[in-house]
């Protein structure tokens, strides 16, 4: 069995650990998180690593280096998912690293560094609305107030972590100091490699992002008695604002993307009632932070102009920001050499999605390897696909990188 075949087989196994019947949903500090983590830890030990859960519910495996005082190179990705997810987002980066260790151990080879593989418990932020929890802790950027975030049932992160068997008091001790490098393998979640007919590519940078919560307040009224010119329709105003986000981002010469991902009428709305209150979200991303910040200011002005013209009120609350993160040039070159060693043309490309690697870049040189998605590059969806041959090539590239890299 090839690396790729085993990775796909194990990804299918992990997909069985789901909270929702008939679709893959696995969120942080749930029984399914526990089961997936236990399975991953078992595979790590089988490959030749020491492995266990840490105080935050991450699973960490360690393959010792050639000497006791060897530096540490870290890899990993996340084992949580979005709701109704695909099978490879996150877990590929864990499973490919386990395959590399298994191959090294089989040959009795030790590296000039200790190699650690982290299966982060939460990157998506689905349950508590706080993203990249595990990698933030590794980077020493976990803030105590995050423990007070609550899920839809009112359970705090602190309460859930304690019930899971974690220890909030030990989170500061998870910060990694002196890491020689962090490298993450991930499915592309886009069509660039697919369109170029390439199995893998080297990531140049990870886009920064803003998330905004917006609320439009108009005036509810009877659908049959309020004349059109006098309406203060919150939904129509929000719809115009959503289109303004799309038009503004599409018109930019830079790599800027904007998404209205949620739009909800208060109370669910009614067929015969003019909506009086609507909430929506905006997600803005760019690899250039200056472009992203300018877009936020310009969109705020445009959307308030829509609100004024339509006689509605707008609340505009940015609540989350990630800075763009460039990948380390020397590590990019090392990954490119490992791709070239497989006889594959080297393609450099940016990442529009956020990744755990963004957090680790605060404490170590960072690089990312992308592997091709099939099916148009779709991700965060059950139709997400990955070819065994591409997974095999990506694992061979990572293994070559590990055996060639000098911290």
Give the per-residue pLDDT at 27: 98
Is the predicted pLDDT of residue 4 greater than 80, yes or no?
yes
**Segments in 217-376 forming alpha helices (H):** 234-250, 289-309, 329-340, 357-360
Domain ranges of the chain: 3-206+324-404, 208-322
Mean pLDDT, to the nearest integer, of 362-388? 96
Q: What is the CATH number of domain 208-322?
A: 3.30.70.360
pTM (two decimals):
0.87
- Measured at the alpha carbon of residue 200, what is the angle toward residues 363 and 72, in degrees to the nearest 5? 30
Is the predicted pLDDT of residue 124 greater than 90, yes or no?
yes
CA dihedral 245, 251, 255, 260 (to 10 degrees): 10
Number of C-beta neighbours around residue 271 at 10 A: 5
Annotated binding site for allantoate: 211, 272, 285
Cα gap 325→285, rounded to integer Å: 12
Is the predicted pLDDT of residue 254 greater than 80, yes or no?
no
pLDDT digits (tens, 9 = 90+) for 149-166: 999 999 999 999 999 999
pLDDT digits (tens, 9 = 90+) for 344-353: 999 999 998 8
Ordered DSSP codes for 37-95:
HHHHHHHHHHHT-EEEE-TTS-EEEEE--SSTT--EEEEEEE----TT--SSTTHHHHH
Cα gap 104→246, rounded to integer Å: 48
Is the predicted pLDDT of residue 392 greater than 90, yes or no?
yes
Mean pLDDT, to the nearest integer, of 116-133? 96
**How does residue 231 score in pLDDT terms, banded at 50, 70 and 90?**
very high
Mean pLDDT, to the nearest integer, of 358-379? 96
Cα gap 395→185, rounded to integer Å: 9
Annotated binding site for Zn(2+): 78, 89, 124, 186, 380
Annotated binding site: 78, 89, 124, 186, 211, 272, 285, 380
**How does residue 173 score in pLDDT terms, banded at 50, 70 and 90?**
very high
Q: How far apart are the first and last CA of the chain?
A: 32
Q: What percent of the chain has pLDDT over 70?
A: 100
Is the predicted pLDDT of residue 199 greater than 80, yes or no?
yes
Q: What is the CATH number of domain 3-206+324-404?
A: 3.40.630.10
């Amino acid at each position: 069995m090839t690396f790729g075949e085993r990775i796909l087989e194990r990804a299918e196994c992990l997909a069985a650990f789901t909270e929702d019947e008939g679709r893959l949903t696995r969120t942080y500090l749930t029984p399914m998180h526990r089961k997936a983590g236990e399975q991953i830890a078992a595979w790590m030990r089988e490959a030749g690593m020491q492995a266990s859960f840490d105080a935050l519910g991450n699973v960490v495996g360690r393959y010792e280096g050639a000497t006791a005082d060897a530096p540490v190179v870290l890899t990993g990705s996340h084992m949580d998912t979005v709701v109704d997810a695909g099978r490879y987002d996150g877990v590929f980066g864990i499973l490919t690293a386990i395959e590399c260790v298994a191959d090294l151990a089989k040959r009795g080879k030790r590296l000039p560094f200790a190699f650690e593989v982290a299966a982060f418990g939460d990157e998506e932020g689905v349950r508590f609305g706080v993203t990249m929890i595990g990698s933030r802790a590794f980077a020493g950027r976990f803030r105590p107030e995050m423990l007070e975030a609550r899920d839809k049932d009112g359970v705090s992160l602190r309460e859930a972590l304690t019930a899971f068997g974690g220890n909030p008091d030990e989170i500061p001790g998870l910060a990694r100091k002196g890491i020689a490098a962090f490298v993450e393998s991930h499915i592309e979640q886009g069509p660039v490699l697919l369109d170029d007919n390439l199995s893998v590519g080297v990531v140049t940078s990870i886009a920064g992002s803003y998330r905004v919560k917006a609320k439009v307040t108009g005036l509810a009224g009877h659908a049959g008695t309020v004349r059109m010119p006098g309406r203060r329709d919150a939904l129509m105003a929000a719809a115009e604002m959503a289109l303004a986000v799309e038009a503004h981002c599409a018109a930019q010469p830079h790599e800027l993307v904007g998404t209205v991902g949620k739009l909800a009428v208060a109370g669910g709305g009614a067929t015969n009632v003019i909506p009086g209150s609507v909430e929506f979200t905006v997600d803005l991303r760019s690899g250039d932070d200056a472009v992203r910040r300018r877009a936020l200011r310009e969109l705020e002005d445009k959307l308030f102009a829509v609100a004024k013209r339509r006689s509605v009120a707008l609340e505009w609350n940015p609540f989350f920001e990630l800075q763009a993160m460039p990948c380390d040039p020397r590590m990019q070159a090392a990954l490119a050499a490992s791709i070239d060693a497989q006889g594959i043309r080297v393609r450099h490309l940016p990442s529009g999605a956020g990744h755990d690697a963004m957090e680790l870049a605060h404490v170590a040189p960072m690089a990312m390897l992308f592997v091709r998605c099939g099916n148009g590059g779709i991700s965060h969806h059950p139709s997400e696909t990955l070819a065994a041959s591409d997974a095999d090539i990506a694992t061979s590239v990572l293994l070559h990188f590990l055996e060639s890299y000098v911290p």
